[in-house]
Amino acid sequence: AQSVTQLGSHVSVSEGALVLLRCNYSSSVPPYLFWYVQYPNQGLQLLLKYTTGATLVKGINGFEAEFKKSETSFHLTKPSAHMSDAAEYFCAVSGSGGGADGLTFGKGTHLIIQP
Amino acid sequence: DGGITQSPKYLFRKEGQNVTLSCEQNLNHDAMYWYRQDPGQGLRLIYYSQIVNDFQKGDIAEGYSVSREKKESFPLTVTSAQKNPTAFYLCASGPGQGPFFGQGTRLTVV
């Protein structure tokens, strides 16, 4: 079985500062890894994903994440936070079906941007 | 425009009543999913379907039922057997390598 741990249910950064959201996973098979963003009362939007190949993945809105197999981590970063980045962020991992049988999500991290 | 439509956005029901949530997609995806979201709990998989007329239970299927009679549609019924049905329900479709999500239905049982 797979699981996802997101460290910190709330993260607060100043506008213009580095954003770092942490995600660690466990999986018995080579994982596919995902970051999604959710704005209040809306669905989830895919930010980026790692399937195979390059371990540094670039996504939308200036976000990127690095797959580190040795650390079982997939942390999300953005060099400079913007007020519009305030939202809930979810890390997710696929199962043995490569995601066809659904994803396992972390509990989410609420990102707060201080002006 | 292609996408996933969930309706209604807000739904109120009395305790003990069954209620059906609609999910329609025009993305021509084979796979569809239902997730439940509770505050601070992330998303949990209820049911999924990889092809028409076939579906499988997810991690929290008890008290829920689904059907998949058409490729475009994957309705979810919350039955009276679901002990705590108040939640935000999200439908998704698409490849396992990054499914697309609808806008969700917030169900409140009073």
Reported as a single tens digit per residue, the pLDDT across A5-35 is 999 999 999 999 999 999 999 988 888 999 9
Q: Is A62 helix (H, G, I), strand (E, B) or coil?
A: helix
- Fill in the DSSP letter of residue A63: -
Average confidence (pLDDT) over A26-46 = 92
At A100, the pLDDT band (50, 70, 90 cuts) reads confident
Q: What share of chain B is helix, strand, coil (3-state, %, to 5)?
A: 0, 50, 50
B52-81 pLDDT, tens digit per residue, is 999 999 999 999 999 999 999 999 999 999
Instruction: Using pLDDT thresholds of 50, 70 and 90, give the confidence band for residue B1.
Output: low
| Backbone torsions φ then ψ of A6, nearest 5 degrees | -105, 120
Q: B104 and A9: CB-CB below 8 Å? A: no
Which residue carries 């997810």 as its tokens? B58
CA distance B18 to chain A (A): 23
Least confident of A18-32, A87-101, B18-32: A87-101
Closest partner residue to A97 among B40, B96, B101, by Cβ? B96
Distance to chain B for A9, nearest Cα, Å:
8
Give the angle subtended at the CA of A66 by the CAs of A65 and A69, to the nearest 5°: 140
From the candidates B91, B97, B103, which should be mutated to test the interface with A, based on the most A CB atoms within 10 A?
Answer: B97
Report, as an integer, the average pLDDT of B27-56: 95
Q: Do A43 and B102 touch (CB under 8 A)?
A: yes
Which residue of A9, A36, A42 is in closest CB contact with B104? A42
- Kindly report the backbone phi and psi dihedral angles of residue B108, in degrees, each rounded to the nearest multiple of 5, phi listed first: -125, 125
